[in-house]
């Protein structure tokens, strides 16, 4: 019961710290709200608390049209377009642009390629292709440093379509070929012995 009392008191105060942490369902109306909702505070006997909007909906409550609980902090809708960018980054990190195009990635996300590129520019100041290239170079550099794989195998495993493309990327970013990183890691291994 003390937990209920603390939550109800937060509801009465319209405590912003509880926004997105707890959802308030009103049994008499069948509606659930955020604790910061400007609607009149319901009586304690008519209130139930839920940890998520989904839990309140599963219990048969519908979202308030006034406070829009689906936009509470920590909900994907609250993050807005950042959610799309985060989903795209996860796909790119998993190799979504290694053998595919931005058009295909955008299609998987349910947006247009131009819109996806604009979202990346807004949130990351880089295009999806630039992000993918950066991730490929990082993967390749780790493989060069941690393994004795041939350069061609490193290029393939890190997502480059050819050794030439990997070499070009390294030359543009570091001003050195990938083999220069291999030599340094080889020298370090011999020094450790």
Residue among 33, 132, 154, 169 flagged as catalytic: 33
The two structure tokens encoding residue 133: 């290239």
Q: How far, in Å, CA of 141 to CA of 161, rounded?
A: 16
* Contact present, 78 and 71 (Cβ < 8 Å): yes
Known catalytic membership, residue 67: yes
Residue among 31, 47, 67, 140 flagged as catalytic: 67
Coil/strand/helix, residue 30:
coil
Q: How far, in Å, CA of 69 to CA of 78, rounded?
A: 10
Known catalytic membership, residue 75: no
Residue among 25, 64, 85, 144 flagged as catalytic: 64
Residue among 18, 36, 37, 105 flagged as catalytic: 37
In this structure, the number of other CB atoms found within 10 A of the CB of residue 18 comes to 21
Active-site positions read 33, 37, 64, 67
């Amino acid at each position: 019961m003390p937990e209920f009392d603390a939550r109800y008191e937060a509801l009465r105060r319209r405590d912003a710290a509880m926004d997105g942490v707890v959802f308030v369902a009103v049994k008499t109306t069948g509606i659930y709200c955020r604790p910061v909702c400007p609607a009149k505070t319901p009586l304690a006997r008519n209130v139930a608390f839920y940890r998520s909007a989904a839990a309140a909906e599963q219990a048969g409550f519908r979202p308030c049209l006034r406070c829009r609980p689906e936009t509470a902090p920590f909900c994907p809708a609250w993050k807005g377009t950042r959610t799309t960018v985060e989903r795209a980054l996860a796909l790119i990190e998993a190799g979504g642009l290694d053998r595919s195009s931005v058009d295909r990635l955008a299609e998987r996300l349910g947006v247009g390629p131009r819109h996806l590129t604009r979202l990346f520019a807004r949130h990351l100041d880089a295009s999806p292709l630039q992000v993918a290239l950066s991730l490929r170079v990082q993967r390749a550099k780790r493989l060069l440093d941690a393994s004795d794989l041939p350069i061609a195998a490193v290029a393939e495993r890190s997502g480059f379509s050819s050794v030439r493309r990997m070499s070009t990327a390294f030359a543009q970013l570091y001003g050195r070929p990938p083999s220069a990183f291999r030599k340094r890691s080889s020298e370090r291994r011999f020094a450790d012995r």
